[in-house]
Chains A and B, each alone.
Chain A
Amino acid sequence: MLSDITLGQFFPGKSPVHKLDARVKLILTIAYIVALFMVSNYFGYLVIVGLIGLVLALSKIPFSMLLKSLKPLIFIIAFTAVLNLFYGAGEHVLFEYGFLRITEEGIRNAIMMSLRIIFLIAGTSLLTYTTSPIMLTDAIERLLSPLKKIHLPVHELAMMMTIALRFIPTLVEETGKIMSAQKARGADFESGSLVSRVKALVPILVPLFVSAFRRADELATAMECRCYHGGENRTRMKQLTIAGRDFAACGVFALCIALIVLCNIYL
């Protein structure tokens, strides 16, 4: 159960996509999202499919991983589709029953919206699959660094994010251990009424909180011992550098956006 958490999980690899500068990847993802919202007909989605396919092939991420990232959001996608299906304000009515009315435009809207969400998740999942959380927060810090001028604690925010991300797997593992330990003492999490199931969580949550605080305390002490004092004058072991492939990636994305715009105008 706990090992099923994939949304935002890093999938290690050495592909060109993995090696891209995290800053570039982040900006390109934002560009991709903008492009996705610009698409106004099916041809535009063909371009998007091509782009996702290319990234998928280059990164060697299995297609099943991408599907897995969509799984938790099936309900939202279905819900959006149904909502759009019935609330389309079109004229070509195909079916009418009481207050339910399906129009050609409604169907089109439903398909477009569902595709948009699907590609939105697919694209952003590819970012998190190919970029380690540490690299990602690094990129965010660097991209936001101009905001330091207005005294926004950019480094501290990035550090908080790094620490939070770093401890997710640790806490998941810890939860698994505590669950096993309580199961060994006969705890039952899978049966009983809703109330008894919620009550059954107490033996997990109390030790989990205790250990989270203990860890936080230990980490703070360890950081102080190593004279950590925020971002000033700090250098990095891994410098982010822009290479040829980053320009190539930007080129491919620019081409795709241009294609989408052309599709919008001429098709």
Chain B
Amino acid sequence: MYDLELRNLRYEYGQKTPFHKVAIRDVNLRFEEGEMIGIIGHTGSGKSTLVQHLNGLLKPTEGEVLLGGVNIWENAKRIKEVRSRVGLVFQYPEYQLFEETVFRDIAFGPKNMGMEGETLERAVHTALDFVGLSPELLEKSPFELSGGQKRRVAIAGVIAMSPQVLILDEPTAGLDPRGRDEILARIQDYHKRTGATVLIVSHSMEDVARFAGRVLVMNHSRVELFDTVPNIFKRAERLCEIGLAVPQVTRVFLELQKAGIPVNPGVYTVEDAVREICRIREGGDAGAQ
């Protein structure tokens, strides 16, 4: 079992300089195996810093990161192994491509993990299949590809290490709506087929609401909320307060509630909204979902 746990995590950077800042504090979290989690928060709320702790890229100033019950910093020499078990895809991952061919770029990660020969080849092909690219691209230079394709190659580069926990930092940033849906669908597919724990950092409440089981809301270096999607949206007002855009339908329902109509504001998809309106019209009472 590979649940991931954070205990009293605190991270400060720029100590003893005028740029000193506490990036995250008092973080206590537990992610269960096979969960799909969305992480949202403002720019600078600490979400990117948080995810970089999960695979040991940043060492916490205080507190512990436990992977499968073991502190990942217990043996600093094995941190590389942690990084293969917890795969992290950075923001704009296409800017990290460097190899001459797509194949070699995707193979970079698994090779560093000691894979070779046929196993390596299989890992690359599987990863390519997960992100929905055709094998013809394997011999091309990654710099010849389109933006969306590059992003997928970069994601495949992490998937090829077959991590038990896959973390993606804003995987859809800068993509058009179609590219965004496509990537999200691919990630959901990966989640279903491998049973891996998946964490997605996102700006978009709408996206998060669609795919995530639980949502982690970060605000001012702290965990603001961590709960299931319906429960998070019950706190829609608080979300608005900290400046996070809730889905448009939710906003409409919040306004309806303010206007005195007994609706349940924990509505975040159009389908739910339709159901809720029908319920009200049939004269049900508020809050019963």
CA distance A207 to B158 in the complex (A): 17
Find out whether the CB atom of B80 lies under 8 angstroms from the CB atom of A186. yes
Tell yes or no: B112 within 8 A of A by CB: yes
Output the nearest chain B residue to A184 by Cβ-Cβ distance: B88
What per-residue 1/0 map shows which CB atoms of B2-39 lie under 8 Å from chain A? 00000000000110101000000000000000000000
From B93, B143, B161, give the contact of A181 (CB < 8 A): B93
Min distance, Cβ A18 to any Cβ of chain B, angstroms: 13
Tell yes or no: A45 within 8 A of B by CB.
Answer: no
Closest 3 CB pairs of A and B: A186-B112, A206-B98, A185-B109
Name the residue of chain A whose CB is nearest to the CB of B110: A186
**A contacts, CB < 8 Å to B:** 3, 11-12, 64, 177-178, 180-188, 202-203, 206-207, 210-211
Minimum CB–CB distance from A75 to chain B (whole Å) comes to 24
Which of B16, B96, B112, B157 has most A Cβ within 10 Å?
Answer: B96
How many angstroms from the CA of A184 to the CA of B89 in the assembled complex?
8
Q: Which residues of A contact B52 (CB under 8 A)?
A: 180
A207 is contacted by which of B13, B55, B84, B97 (Cβ under 8 Å)?
Answer: B97
- Given A180-B52, A185-B157: A11 in contact with B18 (beta carbons within 8 A): yes
Interface membership of B87, Cβ < 8 A: yes
CB distance from A202 to the nearest CB of B (A): 7
A interface: dominant SS: helix
B18 near A184 with CB under 8 A, answer: no
CA–CA, A250 to B89, complex, Å?
Answer: 55
Contact B97 A184 (CB under 8 A): no
Determine how close the nearest CB of chain A comes to the CB of B54; give it in whole angstroms: 10
- The reply on B256 being an interface residue by CB < 8 A is no
Number of interface residues of B (CB under 8 A): 28
How close is B166's CB to chain A, nearest CB, in angstroms? Answer: 11
Partner of B161, one of A182, A186, A206, A210: A186
Interface residue from B16, B112, B143 paired with A185 (Cβ < 8 Å)? B112
Does the CB pair A12–B18 fall under 8 Å? Answer: yes
B253 interface hit (Cβ, 8 Å)? no
Q: Nearest chain-A residue to B92 (Cβ)?
A: A177
Q: How far is the CA of A184 from the CA of B143 in the complex (A)?
A: 21
1/0 per residue, CB under 8 A from A, across B70-96: the answer is 000000000010011001111001011
**Chain B residues in 8 Å Cβ range of A206:** 98
In contact, B14 and A181 (Cβ under 8 angstroms): no
**In the complex, given contacts A181-B93, A181-B96, what are 8 additional A-B residue pairs having Cβ atoms less than 8 angstroms apart?**
A3-B13, A183-B83, A186-B83, A186-B113, A186-B161, A187-B112, A203-B108, A207-B98
B57 at the A/B interface (Cβ < 8 Å)? yes
CA distance A195 to B97 in the complex (A): 22
Instruction: Assess whether A186 is in contact with B96, with CB atoms less than 8 Å apart.
Output: no
Is B55's CB under 8 angstroms from A184's CB?
A: yes
Asked, given contacts A184-B158, A185-B109, A186-B161, whether A178 binds B96 with beta carbons under 8 Å apart, the answer is: yes
Distance of A16 Cα from B87 Cα, bound (Å): 50
Contacts of B89 in A (CB 8 A): 184
Contact with A along B223-258 (1 / 0, CB 8 A): 000000000000000000000000000000000000
Flag if B95 contacts A210 (CB, 8 Å): yes
Check A207/B96 contact, CB under 8 A, given A177-B90, A184-B55, A185-B158. yes
Are A203 and B98 CB-contacts (below 8 A) given A180-B90, A183-B83, A186-B109? yes
Residues of chain A lying within 8 A (CB to CB) of residue B157: 185
Distance, CA A205 to CA B268, complexed state (A): 45
The residue on A at minimum CB distance from B158 is: A185
Say how far B87's CB is from chain A's closest CB, in angstroms: 7
- Chain B residues closer than 8 Å to A207, beta-carbon distance: 95-98
- A186's nearest neighbour on chain B, judged by CB, is B112
Instruction: Tell me whether A184 and B83 are in contact (CB under 8 A).
Output: yes
Chain A residues with CB under 8 Å of B93's CB are: 181
The verdict on A188 contacting B90 (CB below 8 Å), with A3-B14, A203-B108, A210-B95 known, is: no
In contact, A185 and B161 (Cβ under 8 angstroms): yes
| A3, A178, A184 pick with most chain B CB within 10 angstroms | A184
Q: A177-B90, A210-B143 are in contact. Are A182 and B96 (CB under 8 A)?
A: yes
Which residue of A3, A11, A178, A188 contacts B112 across the interface (Cβ within 8 Å)? Answer: A188
Q: Please name the residue on chain B nearest to A187 by beta carbon.
A: B112
Kindly state the separation between the CA atoms of A178 and B96 in the bound complex, as whole angstroms. Answer: 6
Write out the residue numbers on chain B whose beta carbons fall within 8 Å of the beta carbon of A186. Answer: 80, 83-84, 108-109, 111-113, 161
How far apart are B103's CB and chain A's nearest CB, in angstroms? 15
> How far is A183 from B83 in the complex, measured between Cα atoms in Å?
8
Question: How far apart are the CA atoms of A206 and B109 in the complex, in Å?
Answer: 16
B165-220: which residues lie under 8 A (CB-CB) from chain A? none
Could you show 11 A-B contacts with beta carbons less than 8 Å apart?
A3-B13, A11-B18, A184-B55, A184-B88, A184-B90, A185-B83, A185-B108, A185-B109, A203-B96, A203-B108, A207-B96
CA distance A186 to B158 in the complex (A): 10
Name the residue among A185, A186, A187, A210 with the largest chain B CB count within 10 angstroms: A185
Q: Least Cβ distance of B11 to chain A in Å?
A: 14
What is the CA–CA distance of A232 and B108 in the complex, to the nearest angstrom? 51
